[in-house]
Each structure stands twice: as structure tokens, then as C-alpha cells.
Amino acid sequence: MTSLRYAEALNRALREEMTRDPMVWLFGEDIATYGGVFKVTKDLLGEFGPGRVRDTPISEQTLTAMAVTAAMAGTRPVLEIMYADFLPLSIDALVNQAGVFDYIWGGQVSIPMVLRTQGGGGAGAGAQHSKSLDAFVAHIPGLKVVAPATPADAYGLLKAAIRDPNPVIVLEHKLLYNLRGEVPEDGGLIEIGRARTAREGRDVSIFATSRMVHLSLEAAEKLAAEGIEAEVIDLRSLRPLDVGAIVASVAKTHHAVVVNEGWRFCGYGAELSATIMEQAFDDLDAPVERVGAMDVAIPYSEPLEKTVLPDVEAIMAAVRRARR
Amino acid sequence: MAERATAQKRGRTRSSAATTSSPKKNSAPDLATLSRDEELKAYRDMLLIRRFEEKAGQLYGMGLIGGFCHLYIGQEAVVVGMQMCVKDGVDQVITGYRDHGHMLATGMDPKGVMAELTGRAGGYSKGKGGSMHMFSREKQFFGGHGIVGAQVSLGTGLAFANKYRGQDTVTLAYFGDGAANQGQVYESFNMAELWKLPVIYIIENNKYAMGTAVNRASAQTDFSKRGLSFAIPGEQVDGMDVRAVKAAGERAVKWCREGNGPYILEMQTYRYRGHSMSDPAKYRSKDEVQKMRTDHDPIEQVRLRLIENEWAGEDDLKAIDKDVRAIVAESADFATVDPEPDVAELWTDILK
């Protein structure tokens, strides 16, 4: 085990996979010479050269479509979309191409592409650089979507994503890049589609994604002082969803809170909530509580932004409502 | 730098020469000389597309084909001429929604294509794709795309992979005059030239984007010039004359294989039928259509040359027609009796 920052863990995963397989190559805006705006691709240009670590023009729509066919034609592209807020420019290639070609062509193709991006608020980056658009991509059949919350998961899920024969979206979080944690020396692949129990508890289950996992753990510690033992499940894989882990936890605690940083209305939390109602209704002692961003654009002003985004207090309040 | 200067010079030369007058009147300088065998093959390949499309139109009218059905009738010389310039099953083809002709030209099985049009299990996509969504690894055909212009970016990605893998493969990315106004086309042009990708952008200018005439949608109607600011050479080509297509296609393929980057060919062509089966085409006159059929029909041009050169007699041509009709009839029969896909197919091929 080594202690690495989240960004370093991603960097190591890329380096190892590029060393292992010469068909793995990286492209995106400012990923090579600049090393990536969050330094995830730092030093890789020098190690692998411009043929495999490629700066691109600012052309997200075409870059994403190129990843689809370059993957189909035998390479393993890893595309970085600098901000999740730019995903709408990529959406055509995801919803009309990456997710559907294998299906509408009768199972004849494999699209082993990875799209890495980062979202989330709390950095004062304003409405066009702060969103969590998890629901946009998790909505699409034929894709896999992961959202690592820890350095170990960032490392293991990115490696698994690169080796996966399907298109995989890796949703990182801008406030997690400096988070430090233990990462296995090598190997350490994490199966896509498996949730992780971040904290065990008997009274209520908190199902959280990405940075919300850490806020949920903090909330759980505080709630313990009130005598409420919360279980925190880090979903890790948004699609496919580990429904089994969700149902098992609800069967144990009989209370559920879902926490996702995206907008509540038609958001990823809504899907989680519906899944729990459909799959675990008989085990529930109370309605599912849902925590998410308020349904407004993410404002720049620090106090306003704090109000819009879910925080520890909001999660604690939701748990208390669920336990009432 | 020398390479780029050549590209610019070439781009200017070709497009300016071609714009002096209609290439249909002034096509003499750039015609490939076809042998008897080549003329006969072109005749047969174009006739197969036309008869196939006529049959598809009938099956649509009978209710056997649903949804969309965009016929290629009138444009046959473009794909047949281009396919004469490339290696079957090696060089790649990708196109938009008017894709039946491209599939047949690459040598895909008419039965599999027709059965996909009727939504049968024996279709190329097991009935889950339809008219616009078919694929063949064997023939290197990458669709069939219903999002107008997307095939330009997708084709550019194929060319990128070919270059990355060190393969001597050229990608033919076909799109229409309508698609040429999509933003991603220019993102693609930029990257293709920047990275010298071996892709030929073939703009099939059939004068109408659905019902919108070219001059009502395009500020620059000379599509061969659409790559000029990226220094991509372009030519306007008489897309109704298979000899002109082949001559231009060979220049473009050579340019790509030599590592010079992309090339643009504007094929001036014409579709005889409406945009799709549901389009009565009231945005143009019957005279306009009739004039193209009478004066420029791509198949008739080859037929007249075959007769004139005494390379084939009426009986020989009738025999070809009979043969082609038999292939088409067989495909229609298969597409009519082949079973529809089982409901269990709904949940296959979602993830590997």
C-alpha cells in the first residue's frame, strides 16, 4: 500500500495501463504539455510521447465521436473532457453512438472507450463549471458509469474501465483530487458494478456517490453522538447499479437516505429512491429521504453556492426525518 | 511546409478549374478511361443498386418496410465509382441515412440488407437496426447513421485509429450537402488536417437537404471549398459520370495513401426520388427531375458507351438486367419469409 492523492492514483492507473497495452492512448484538451488542468495526466507525455498522449483542439463533440470509432477499430482511447459541464457537447456521441452501436448492429462491435471527466461544486467556479450531470450519462443504456470517491477506487475503477470492453464514463470530482488515501501497490482492479460499505450501521442506510460519501461519513459520525448508527454505502458504480447491496442494507436498517450532488428533479437520487421503493418496499419503515442540489443554476457567491449544494447538515436532517 | 504548400495549391487548382462551368458540360479533362470489364462491372453494380431500391420502394408501399426508407436512385455512380478506387474489405466506408447503395457497393449481401429493411432476424442487425443502422466488419462498412453529420466525426475517428495502428487503410466518409453545415464537420476537418489523417470526405451534393435547396441553406454552395481554410484540397466532380468519380477518387486515394492527410470531393449528383418514401418532393419541378433523368442518368451513360463501343449488345445487357433482377427478387423473397426477431433479442447485445 502507498499513500497517494486521488489525482496521483488516477495518474498511476493511466501509466500502468499504457505500459501494459500499447493500444491505450490518451487525448483531450491540455492533457499533454500542460499535464491536465488537475494534473491527472502529469508527466505522461514525456514517458509515452505525443503519439499516445495527445493535446487536442477544443472540439468535444467530435473528440467523443472519434473515441467511439477509434475504440471500435481496435484501439483503447481514454478521452478527458475537462469539466462535466461540457458533457452536453459529448452527449450525441454517447446517447446515439457509444451506447447503442453494439445493440443496433446486432452485437457485432465492441467499444472499449473511456471518457474521464470531473464535476461538482464548492470551488466557486460558477454555473458552467460546477455541475454534477451524473443523471445525463447514467440515463443511457449501453454505457457503464463509475464515480470513485477514494484514491483506491479512483485507481482500481479507472484500470477496470480501461480494460472493459464497453464504453465507460469515469466521473471524478474536482474537490477530491487532493484527497489522500492508501492505494494497493499494483493490480487492485475494482469490479465495476459493486458498491462498497464505507461505514457499517444498524439504524439507517445512507446511499451516497462521489464526494457525498465523505459528507455522509462525517454526518454519520455526528449522528453517532445522537445515538443513531448510520450505514454509509458508497455506490461507486452508477450504472450498472449494485441493487443487491442496496436491498441488503435496507433489509438491515429499514431506513434509507439517498445523497447525490446533482439536481434533485429527475436526478440520480430520484432513480435511487425509486429503486429502493420498488425493490425493498416491504423492508422500509419510513419513506426514502432524498438529498441533492437545489433546482437552480449553481451560483458563484460563496454563501449562495453553499446553500444550493448538499452539506453535512442537510444529510443529518434527512436522516433525522427518516428516523422520525 | 512543402507538403502544406502543395495541398493549398492543389486545393485551389481543382476547385477553381471545376467552378468555371458545370462539370457536366466540362468534364472532359478529368475522366478515367474504363476498360470493357470495368464498364460492364460499373453497369452491373449501379443497376443492382437501382433495382434493389426500386424493390425496396415497392416493399415499403406494401407495408413490409416500416419507418424510414431513403432511396439512393440517381446517385449510383458516386459509390460505384469510389469503390473502384479502393480495396474491398480493407478500406472503410461510413455514411449517413441514405445508405443502401453504399452497402451494396461494398459487396454486402443484398439479402441481409433487404431483410434488415423488413426488420427480420436474418437482417444484418437482426432486425434491431433498420434502414439506417447496419454494419459489416467483413466489408468494413461502419454504418448507416441517422444523426446528420455524425458520420464525419466517426469517420475521422476511424482514420485516426488506422494511422495509430500503422495501417495503410483509407476511410471514405460520405455525407450530404445538408450535413456539410453541421459544426462537427469543421471540427473534423481541422483535426484531420492537423494530424494528417487518411480520410476522404465525400460530399454528395444532391441539391436538396430534405426539401431545402442548397442555395437556401448554404452561404458557400461550392462544397469543394469547404476545407480551404484548413488547407484541405477539394474538387468538384460530376457525380453522375462514373468515369469522373473514378478519376477524382483515384487522386484522392493516392493523396491519402501517401500520407498527405484528408481530401474533399464534392460529388454533384441528384436523387430522383423524394428525401424519403413519405416525401412527394413538391419543392422542385417535375421538369427538373426529368431533365436529370434524360440527360445525365449515370446508368444510361454507361449503357450507351457499351453499345457505342460494341462492348455489349442489347441481349448482353438484358442478360445482366435479368441476373440483377433475380438477385433482387431473391433478397425480397428472403426478406419476406425470414422470421421476425424473437422478443428475447430485446435483451441481447447491450453490454459485452
Report pLDDT for B16. Answer: 37
* Average pLDDT value for residue range A118-143: 97
CATH of the domain at B169: 3.40.50.970
The per-residue pLDDT for range A154-209, each reduced to its tens digit, is 999 999 999 999 999 999 999 999 999 999 987 789 999 999 999 999 999 999 99
Considering the domain architecture, whether residues A226 and A286 belong to the same structural domain is answered as yes
B133 and A104 in contact (C-beta within 8 Å)? yes
φ, ψ of residue B226 in degrees (nearest 5): -65, -15
- Number of domains forming the structure of chain A: 2
Residue A189 lies in a domain: no
All residues of chain B having their beta carbon less than 8 Å from the beta carbon of residue A66 are: 153-154, 156-157, 160, 191
With a cut of 90, say whether residue B7 has pLDDT above it: no
The per-residue pLDDT for range A241-300, each reduced to its tens digit, is 999 999 999 999 999 999 999 999 999 999 999 999 999 999 999 999 999 999 999 999
Report pLDDT for A185. Answer: 82
With a cut of 80, say whether residue B11 has pLDDT above it: no
* Average pLDDT value for residue range B236-240: 98
All residues of chain B having their beta carbon less than 8 Å from the beta carbon of residue A163 are: none
With a cut of 50, say whether residue B22 has pLDDT above it: no
Report pLDDT for B82. Answer: 98
Considering the domain architecture, whether residues A165 and A202 belong to the same structural domain is answered as no
φ, ψ of residue A187 in degrees (nearest 5): 70, -125
Sheet of strand A53-55, all strands in order from the earlier edge strand to the far edge: A53-55, A24-28, A76-81, A114-119, A168-173, A144-146, A237-239
Q: What is the pTM of this model?
A: 0.93
Gap between the Cα atoms of B236 and B204, Å rounded: 10
Say if the Cβ atoms of B153 and A67 lie within 8 Å: no
CA distance to partner chain A, nearest, from residue B151 (Å): 9
Considering the domain architecture, whether residues A158 and A37 belong to the same structural domain is answered as yes
Report pLDDT for A187. Answer: 75
Considering the domain architecture, whether residues A103 and A145 belong to the same structural domain is answered as yes
With a cut of 90, say whether residue A83 has pLDDT above it: yes
Domain that holds residue A60: 2-183
Report pLDDT for A324. Answer: 84
Considering the domain architecture, whether residues A217 and A177 belong to the same structural domain is answered as no
B298 and B46 in contact (C-beta within 8 Å)? yes
Residue A291 lies in a domain: yes
Chain B residues within 8 Å of chain A (Cβ atoms): 94, 123-126, 128-130, 133-137, 142-143, 146-147, 150, 153-158, 160-162, 164-165, 183-184, 187-188, 190-191, 194, 348-352
Gap between the Cα atoms of A321 and B206, Å rounded: 64
With a cut of 60, say whether residue B24 has pLDDT above it: no
Considering the domain architecture, whether residues A177 and A201 belong to the same structural domain is answered as no
Residues facing residue B201 across a β-bridge: B173, B264
| Strands A230-234, B212-213: pairing kind | unpaired
Among A57, A66, A110, select the one facing B153 at the smallest CB separation. Answer: A66
All residues of chain B having their beta carbon less than 8 Å from the beta carbon of residue A69 are: 94, 142, 154-158, 160-161
Say if the Cβ atoms of B146 and A96 lie within 8 Å: yes
Domain boundary among A158, A183, A208: A183
For testing the chain B interface, which of A48, A61, A69 should be mutated: the one with the most B CBs within 10 Å?
A69
Question: What does the DSSP assignment read for B2-39?
Answer: HHHHHHHHHHHHHHHHHHTS-TTTS-GGG-PPPPHHHH
Q: What angle do CA A237, A125, A61 make, to 5 degrees?
A: 60
The per-residue pLDDT for range A14-41, each reduced to its tens digit, is 999 999 999 999 999 999 999 999 999 9
Say if the Cβ atoms of A105 and B133 lie within 8 Å: yes
Say if the Cβ atoms of A74 and B191 lie within 8 Å: no
The per-residue pLDDT for range B94-133, each reduced to its tens digit, is 999 999 999 999 999 999 999 999 999 999 999 999 999 9
Residue B16 lies in a domain: no
CATH of the domain at A204: 3.40.50.920
- Number of domains forming the structure of chain B: 1
Residue B72 lies in a domain: yes
Which stretches of chain A are assigned E, i.e. beta strand? 2-5, 24-28, 53-55, 76-81, 114-119, 144-146, 168-173, 180-183, 196-199, 204-208, 230-234, 237-239, 256-263, 289-293
A89 and A13 in contact (C-beta within 8 Å)? no
A266 and A83 in contact (C-beta within 8 Å)? no
Report pLDDT for A138. Answer: 98
Residue A190 lies in a domain: no
The three three-digit cell numbers of residue B343, written as one number: 422478443
Gap between the Cα atoms of A111 and A164, Å rounded: 9
Among B156, B165, B350, select the one facing A75 at the smallest CB separation. Answer: B165
The per-residue pLDDT for range A42-76, each reduced to its tens digit, is 999 999 999 999 999 999 999 999 999 999 999 99
Chain A residues within 8 Å of chain B (Cβ atoms): 23, 25, 51, 56-57, 59, 61-63, 65-70, 72-75, 92-93, 96-97, 101-110, 141-142, 144, 165-166, 240
Q: Which helix (H) or strand (E) holds B305?
A: helix B298-308
Domain that holds residue B244: 32-334
Report pLDDT for A188. Answer: 82
Residue B4 lies in a domain: no
Considering the domain architecture, whether residues A15 and A100 belong to the same structural domain is answered as yes
Residue B189 lies in a domain: yes
Residue A78 lies in a domain: yes
With a cut of 70, say whether residue B237 has pLDDT above it: yes
Gap between the Cα atoms of B130 and B123, Å rounded: 9
- Summary mean pLDDT of chain B: 92
With a cut of 50, say whether residue B8 has pLDDT above it: no
Report pLDDT for A1. Answer: 86
φ, ψ of residue A12 in degrees (nearest 5): -65, -40
Say if the Cβ atoms of A107 and B137 lie within 8 Å: no
Residue A191 lies in a domain: no
Q: Which region among B8-22, B68-82, B174-188, B309-323 has the lowest average model confidence (pLDDT)?
A: B8-22
With a cut of 80, say whether residue B49 has pLDDT above it: yes
Residues facing residue A290 across a β-bridge: A258
Among A65, A96, A110, select the one facing B157 at the smallest CB separation. Answer: A65
Report pLDDT for B29. Answer: 58
CA count, 13 A, side-chain hemisphere, A160: 22
Question: What does the DSSP assignment read for A42-53?
Answer: TTHHHHH-TTTE
CA B224 to chain centre: 16
Coil, strand or helix: which one is B314? helix
Considering the domain architecture, whether residues A313 and A202 belong to the same structural domain is answered as yes
Query: Between residues B2 and B254, which one has the greater pLDDT?
Result: B254
CATH of the domain at A51: 3.40.50.970
CA distance to partner chain B, nearest, from residue A9 (Å): 27
CA distance to partner chain A, nearest, from residue B328 (Å): 23
Q: Which residue has the cell 472519434?
A: A66
The per-residue pLDDT for range B270-299, each reduced to its tens digit, is 999 999 988 989 999 999 999 999 999 999
